[in-house]
Structures are given as structure tokens and as C-alpha cells.
Chain A
Amino acid sequence: MDHTTKQTLLAPETTGLSIQTDRFKTSLITISFVLPLDLDGTAAASLLARLLEHTTALYNTPVALQRKLLSLYGARFFTAVNKAADLQLLSATISVINDRYALHGEPLLAEAAAFLCDALFAPNLTDGDFSPEEVALCRRLLVESIEGLLNDKRRYAIARMYGAMCPEEPFGIPIGGTVEAVEKLTGQDAVACWRQMLQNAPAIVSVVGGADPQPVYDAVLARFSQFGRTPKPLSPRFVYRAPAGVKEVSETMALTQGKLVLGFRSTVSSLEQNNLAMHVFCDMFGGSPYSRLFTVVREQRSLCYYCAARLQSTKGFVCVDCGIENRNIEPAKEEILAQLAALQRGEFDESLLSASLLSLTDSARSVADSQLSLLAWYISRLFDAAQPSPEEWMAELRGVTAEAVVEAANALTLDTVFALKANEEQPAEKEGSPA
């Protein structure tokens, strides 16, 4: 075994997840909270995450906080808010080199754990509120981050597709919410979100590395005890919403290359059942250089520069996206659907299936080589019907048959097509006055 895991119920709705491995020179601690996902809630959680990352009561200026991290040999500290099906996870993480590599024998892991606890449990509040200056700054940064999605056209197009596909589902809400939702937030909204999170949200304390996790658990539990914690269980449910027809949405922008995104719904969610065959199908369809989308749509027919399929495991969604010229949008769409239909009819070689099984096995085995991948593996499966280790997953993968792949392919229905079209008439502007 390259690692061992142990889940411990530390307190009601408070789980300790220990991933023991001695192959790294660093250790990682993450504390995650499970929160509902709604527009105002994600805006508040995202603002809170930024404020918690910016300063703490002990390190009450960003300069002091950053200097502390430098003194811990450049420990990486960050907060994040991510979707988990129709819920969101707010996490704070610190990664630090192991004590044995410290040049002066400093107890780095203990200091890193204390730092992380300070960041989450003792934020920089004055009279029960974040400072107006910090709130204004973090609000601006959050707004710029939301607006900044436009700068990456691939991510922008995928987000637009999911927005159109899931108007009634929390999953369709972008993390961070909207500019309008963020701009009306106050420091008190962030404080309320923080209190609510510590008091009511299920929490997972993860420790990845070779050290004993118990001192970290003890430190976190001691901090929790100050907040009268009465968390309620919160788990996502899978509801299949059969598409009533295909939604077609488009937008035109001054680009040289457009984007085409197809959103499919399936009846298979990892929340309810083992979805290994869906993983294999998705890889064969568009997850690799030997996949049907890459070899046919890109290589044989030269319809686009990239064409890839990705599985959203908990929601049962498959998203196909391409970088494409306007004139190829319709032919590419037809070819993508034709390739899906071929897989649905079982028209594929054994070699495609075996390539996919080999590649997925390889990826799963490599998970143990990265602390963040190990953490992501277990955290992303927290709500799943099955929570296999990478080794168990690989063992089950060997049993996936061509019939199971065909069945997975047939669980898909096209829901939404989003096209970001290039406005070929928009002139490029260049040159200008001196600075």
C-alpha cells in the first residue's frame, strides 16, 4: 500500500480524514465545511474565504500574515470555495515542509496547524466585524475574479453552458455568485456566514502526510468547542431531470476562434451508484488522444483544434467542448453526436476499451504521488455511494465490459448547446500613445 486512510468521527458531523503516507517532504492540512449552494450564500462564502485568507487576529495585516508563511519556509496557505454537486465546500489549506527538513529544527507542522486554526477560528474582527477597508478590498477582488472569467474563453463558454443548462439547479450558480450579489455584501454578512459555518456546517479535517493526525484533530476540536457547535447533516441528492428538448444558446464576441460546448445529462450519478463504466465511456468518447472526439473530430476531419469530454460525476453530466471556427460549428456538432451514437450502438474496437482501461488505471495509480490529488480523490467521493481507494477503484475497473460502456453511453441525452461565435468583422486595434 502506498498510503492508508482512516476516517474518524471526531464529533457530530465532524470527520477526521487521515491519509498516511511517508513519500513526501511536505505535509498538508485542510479543513473543509459543507454549505448549501445558493446565489447569496456562495457570494458570502466566497467573500468570507477571501477575508480569512487576507489577515487573522494574530497576523492582522497581510504583510504580517505573509511574513509568517515565509518564516514557515514558504508554507502555502489558501482558501477556496468549490462546488460539490448542489452544495459548496469552503476549505482552508496549509502545506508545509516536514520538520526534518527545517534548517534550525523548528516544529513546522505544529506551527502550521496553529496558523490554520487561527485563520479559521480567530479572524481579524474588531467589535465583531471585519474592517470596512478589508471588506471593500476583498469585495473588489471577488468582483474582479467573477468578471475575470471572461478572460479565459474556454472556461467562460463552459460556465455559460452550465448556466443555461441548470437554471433551476444550484449547480448552475457560479461559485462566487454574481457581481450584483457580491456588491451588496457587508462585513456583517461575512461574519454571519462565518458563525453559521462554524456552528452548523458539517466539517472534515484532513491531514495528509507521515505525521500523527491526532494533535491536529485535538487542536481543531478545542477551537470548535468555543462555538457551541450543533451541526446538521447536509448531503446532496441526485435528481434526474430529463431534458424536454435541446436548448440552443449562442453569443458573439470579437474573437478569432469560437467555442462550442455541448451539455449532456445522464441517469447515472456517483451519489447513487458505482459509475465506473461512465468514467470509461467518457474517456473513450473524448478524454484522451485515442478517444473518438480527438481522433475523428480533430485529427481526421480537422473540425476544431481541441475537442474533449469531461464527466461531472455527482451530477451525471458530460460536457463536450471545442475550440472552433464559426463555419465548423454545425459539422462539428453533427460529428460529435454521430460519435456518441456510434458508441451507443457499441461500434468500437476492443483496443479502444483496453486503451481506456490502461490509461484510467495509470491515472488512478498516480494519485498517490501527489498530496493534493490524494486529498481531492477522497474529498470528491465524500458523498458518493461508494468511496473506494484508488487501488480498489483500479481493481473494479478491470471488470468494466464493453456492454457496460454501451449502457453508460445510452444513459446520455443532449440537454444544451452553447456556441460562442467569433465576430469575424470586429477589427483588431493596436498601438497607442506613450505611457
Chain B
Amino acid sequence: MKITRFQNEKLQEEYLLAEHPSGLPIYICEKPHFNGAYAVFGTRYGSVDNAFRRKGEADFTEVPAGIAHFLEHKLFESEDGDAFARYAKTGASANAYTSFDRTCYLFSCTDHFAESFDILLDFVQHPYFTEQTVQKEQGIIGQEISMYDDSPDWVVLFNLLCCLYEQNPVRINIAGTAETISHITAPLLYRCYETFYNPHNMFLVAAGNVKAEQVLAACERQLKATPPLPVETRPYRESPAAVKQYAEQAMPVSIPQFAYGVKLPHPGAGYMPARERVTLRLMLAAFIGPQSPLYNDLLNEGLINPEFGGTLFDGRGFASLIFSGESRDPKALARRLFEAARAACESGLPEEEVELIRRRFYGRYCSGFDHAESIGDALTDCACEGVGLFDEADLLQTITTDEINDCLRRVFVPEATALSVIWPLGGDR
């Protein structure tokens, strides 16, 4: 097994990357003075992988929206009970999530790590689906979908994504709909599992009070060598412009909720380069962070409240800037944001401001090493995006203010913007 160690002297941190013969990359960050340990077994498979073709297949298979998330739910079950019942015997706290571009199974614990880790490796590698259990899950997930349908944050985001994207599957709800999940069958789940739960497409992360030796020995015992299975996801056309610039809906909310997005140039089938991502995040923070005059003007004008935030929304095959929160006048706010961005393009963000933001990022980066979970999640990002855990520390020192300003000038294009609003029911629009 090839093992590479990475160190950062200033932070006094290190981790290793082991390349297991099965094809699985294993990231381990030992923090022996922590009580807790955290492990993630994940696959680079999410809701965007909705049409795929395995090597040698002529046609793409289109699968129902929500199947990656459905598979995540079902994988906890085996012929003799569910994984939660097994974790109940170790005391670990287990969970899983499906996002646009990954599915992760995880647990945290402060004792019996080896037993919990064995459970994780075992159940993720042993799917067990029957028509009966699939049918039962349709009911439970249907209720989960209903819960999200009532969540204004969720609805306002997906309405925005449908404005920004025409064909990119990021516009499709991660859990699907009651209708789409009704088409999911056991054979389809097996097909998705076999395609995407191949060790070459997966990764393993362990952080906190763990011993690398113990983790690697467990992998040796449990991981099955599997030949790689090249998979191609169906390409789609996506123009740089938004499909439409506005969507609205009414829900029981106290004040209008909004999401204002700027679609960024399509990063292709992969992830945006790390340098560009950090540059965009620095730019956003300098442009609209709570220290900016713009943020405080908008606060004083009554257009935002502390729920407001700007974020880089990106993943495999998609990237946007999204400003979201609550506003009594989302349309006026969107106009103000765009005008301010154009003005900032002219004037540029000041060096001094960027320097302060750089400091903040460094401080937050340091404090991220205080928790096994945050280290584990950061390593999960590394595994998916193919970057190193310490890359950000270097990038923060080397990205220049000129780069940040160039980035600002590139992204704010009127055709690439859209606004999504949730209005209070019966309220004045």
C-alpha cells in the first residue's frame, strides 16, 4: 500500500493518504489527544449522476430523480437487521447524507472505534434490497420530501437553481419527488450501487482519536479488490446565461425569503480549481462580509437582516454565487447587489480589506483543526475534489488582490443572474 504523509509545520498538523490495492484512497488524521473519532465512507455519487453509461454500454441509463438518496437510506438495511441496531451495541452516533455530488456514511464515537469502523466497512459493502423494503422506504422518503417542501430555505434554493440551470441536473431536488421515487425498484438500486460503489470511485476518511495502523489493518481485512469500472455521465448543454431571471412562490413565512444567484462559467465535468475557489470565497467575503460598507448600508436601508449571507455554491459540474436570506424587498435588494458589484468592478476591492479577510480565513482555517468532525469533513472535500488539506493555507498567502479583483470583474454578468422569492401567503408583493 502506498502511503504519503503531509505536514504543516506552523499548524503542527499532519495526515496521511494511503492508496489501498482495492483502489480506495484512505485519508487519516491522527489526533491522539482528542476523545472522539470520526469516520466517513463515501462515494463520489450524488443526485447529479442521474444518467450514466458504464464502459462497453451503448446507451445511457436514465434513473429516477432521488435514487442516490434513496440508495443511501436503503444501504443501512441488511438481511439480518439494520446498521443502526449494530451501532447501538458500540455507542457510536451514526448518520449519512446525500448531496449533489457525493453520498457519505459516517459515525462519531469516543470508544469502541474498531467495532464501529468494522460495521461501517461492512454495511456499505453489502447492499440488500427487496421490492418489499423498497416499497416501505417510498413512504418514509415521501414524508421526508414533504418536510423539505415546507422548508422555505430549500424551496427558494431549488426555485433559483431551476432559473439558473437549463439541463444541469443540479436543478433537480436531491431527494426527488413522490412521483419519481415511485419508479425506483430493487434492480435499479443494485445497478446504481454496482456502478458507483466501486472502491475506485469511493474514499475513506478517519480523523481524531484513531490509529492509522488499526484503520489500515481493518481495511486490509474487509475491503474487496474490485476492478475499476469506468463510468461516463451523460453530457448536457448549459449556456452561460440563466434560463430565466425570476421565480416566485407563496408559503407561510413571516417575511419574504430570497435567493439571488449568479451562474458561474461551467467548470466542465469536474470541480473548479482550488485556487479559483479560494479566490471567489475571498472576493465574496471582501465584497459583502459583515465588515463591508455595502453590508451595513443594506442593513441600514432595511433590505437585509443577519440571516443574509453570500456563498460560493459549487460542486462537481456546477458553480454559482448565491446571496440568500430574508428581505422586505428582495427585488430592490437584488438590484442594489448587482449595482454594487458593478461599482466594485470599477473601483476594485481595497488591498487593506482583502488583507483583513485573508486573516479571517487563516484564523477559521486554524480553528477547523479543533474538531475531529471538521477535519474529517475537510478531508472528505479533499477526497472528492482531489486537493490537499493544507493547500488552502498556502493559497491564502499567495492569492493576490489583483487576482481577486479580476475574479470580481469576470463573474457579475447580468444575463447570468436570477432571483427566487418566497412571499408570505396573502402578503403584499
Co-complex (A, B): yes
A304 located at the interface, meaning its Cβ lies under 8 Å from any Cβ of chain B in the complex = yes
11 pairs across A/B with beta carbons < 8 Å?
Answer: A66-B290, A69-B291, A73-B360, A74-B362, A96-B363, A147-B255, A148-B255, A256-B146, A257-B149, A302-B140, A433-B246
**What is the bound-complex CA distance between A23 and B10, given in angstroms?**
16
Interface residues on A, range: 35 or more
A313: interface (CB < 8 Å) = no
Bound together, the chains give a CA A317 to CA B347 distance in angstroms of 57
Write the chain B residue with the least CB distance to A328.
B143
* A244-269 residues at the B interface, CB under 8 angstroms: 253-257
**A111 close to B (CB within 8 Å):** no
How near does chain B come to A216, taking the closest CB pair, in angstroms?
19
Please, which residues of chain B bring their CB within 8 A of the CB of A2? 33, 35
Complex CA distance for A302 and B132, rounded to whole angstroms: 14
Query: Does A14 interact with chain B (Cβ within 8 Å)?
Result: no
Interface string of B401-429 (1 = CB under 8 A from A): 00000000000000000010100010001
Contacts of B257 in A (CB 8 A): 151
Q: How far is the CA of A355 from the CA of B89 in the complex (A)?
A: 6
| Interface residue from A69, A73, A151, A253 paired with B366 (Cβ < 8 Å) | A73
Contacting A150 at CB < 8 Å: which of B139, B253, B360, B372?
B253
Binds B, one of A35-43, A218-226, A361-369: A361-369
* Chain A CB within 8 A of B250 CB: yes
* A323–B147 touching, CB < 8 Å: yes
Interface residues of B in 122-140 (CB under 8 A from A): 136, 139-140
Quote the shortest CB–CB distance from A174 to chain B (angstroms).
14
- What string of 1s and 0s marks CB contacts (under 8 Å) between A37-72 and chain B? 000000000000000000000000111001101111
**Residues on the A chain within 8 Å of B421, using CB:** 432
Cα distance A370–B305 when bound, in Å? 29
A215 to B362, CA, bound (A): 26
The answer to whether A75 and B246 touch across the interface, beta carbons within 8 angstroms, is no
Contact B36 A66 (CB under 8 A): no
Q: Which of these, B88, B147, B247, B326, contacts A305 with CB under 8 Å?
A: B147
Closest to A304 in B: B143
**Are A144 and B371 in contact (CB-based, < 8 A)?**
no
**Bound Cα distance A72, B363 (Å):** 8
Cβ contacts under 8 Å, A363 to chain B: 93
Contact between B305 and A144 (Cβ–Cβ < 8 Å)? Answer: yes
Chain B contact surface mostly: mixed
Q: Which residues in window 111-153 of A have CB below 8 A to B?
A: 133, 137, 140-141, 144-145, 147-151, 153
* A429 close to B (CB within 8 Å): yes
- Asked if A73 and B359 sit within 8 Å, CB to CB, the answer is yes
Contact pattern, A 395-435, Cβ under 8 Å of B = 1, otherwise 0: 00000000000000000000000000000001011111111
Given contacts A70-B357, A141-B305, A366-B108, contact A151 B33 (CB under 8 A): no
B111 interfacial by beta-carbon distance below 8 Å: yes
The answer to whether B36 and A432 touch across the interface, beta carbons within 8 angstroms, is no
Of residues 1 through 60 on chain A, the ones whose CB sits less than 8 Å from some CB of chain B are: 2, 23-26
For chain A, residues 342 to 358, give those with C-beta under 8 angstroms from any C-beta of chain B. 351, 355, 358
Q: Which 4 pairs between the two chains have the least Cβ-Cβ distance?
A: A73-B363, A74-B360, A358-B91, A66-B291
How far apart sit A147 and B253, CA to CA, in the bound complex (Å)?
9
Q: Is B150 an interface residue (CB 8 A)?
A: yes
A71 proximity list for chain B (CB < 8 A) = 356, 359
A200 contacts B by Cβ under 8 Å: no
Residues in chain B near residue A369, CB distance under 8 A:
34-36, 208, 371-372
CB distance from B353 to the nearest CB of A (A): 8
Q: Which of B84, B150, B307 contacts A290 (CB 8 A)?
A: B84
A contact residues around B326 at 8 Å (CB): 144, 148, 151
Residues on B with C-beta less than 8 A from A61 are 296
Q: Is A298 interfacial (CB-CB < 8 Å)?
A: yes
Q: How far is the CA of A62 from the CA of B295 in the complex (A)?
A: 10
A235 within 8 Å of B (CB atoms)? no
Asked whether B398 is an interface residue with its Cβ less than 8 Å from the other chain, the reply is no
Q: A148-B255, A302-B139, A431-B247 given as contacts; is B362 within 8 A of A370 (CB)?
A: no
